[in-house]
Amino acid sequence: MKSKMKTLSLAVLGFVGFGAAGAAMAQCPASLSPPWSLVSTLQGTATSVTGGYDSTACRLRVALNQNGSTGSKAFVLDQTPANETRYRAQFIIDASGIGLTQANRNVIAFSVLGATAPAGGNNRMVFALLTGNGSAAILRMFVGDTNQGSQYQTLDIPLPNQAGANRVEIDLVTGAAATMKYWVTNASASTTEGAPTGTFTNLANTGWTGVDQVALGFSTANTFYRQNFTNTSYVYFDQFDSRRQTFIGH
């Protein structure tokens, strides 16, 4: 089994598959699929634009139309995983351009989808809600745990770089008493496996079987987000990478 699953940095579209790319493209591609399995948009936009992070040439830019429906979305999907019982992934997110601090505005920005769903639940095994805490933008992390009444453990993680890009990495294990380590840092900061930002423990997540798909971008925005942000309220993503075993880091 290969430890490296998929590298989908927007700087190297067209050169990547199950290994690292050897060169960057001279310009950003018009289409994101491939290498992403598909691009899903409804009353929103997901495009590749110049100006990536940490030496990359391109980045993913997403936004939703103002006053769109509850089904509005703008995300890319990776269907490379195959019921993975251990899954490591990393991406960069930059929400500095929208000035999000309000706690009543939120949108799902990252989802790890299980191969199945537990009884009474959905197939979101892990997801990160981009929202505010009254003074800063945060990621509210939901991690599947059927021992909880809500079926999730939840934690608010302020983005350390409110003025720019942040790096997020997870290490998810499936089992009866599983764990998920996470790293959330300024995109330029060095990270080491021995020093995660935090760890979710005692997760009962076998009801999801294993990781089957991953979505990066926007879905399930609440009413206040859709009312107050427009199709030029851009949030940016870059440097998605996923593994089965090895730490990704920076």
pTM of the complete model: 0.91
For residues 98 and 73, is the Cβ–Cβ distance under 8 A? no
Predicted confidence (pLDDT) per residue in 17-76, tens digit:
323 333 333 478 888 998 899 999 999 999 999 999 988 899 999 999 999 999 999 999
Instruction: Extract the tokens encoding 76.
Output: 């890319």
Answer yes or no: is pLDDT of 240 > 90. yes
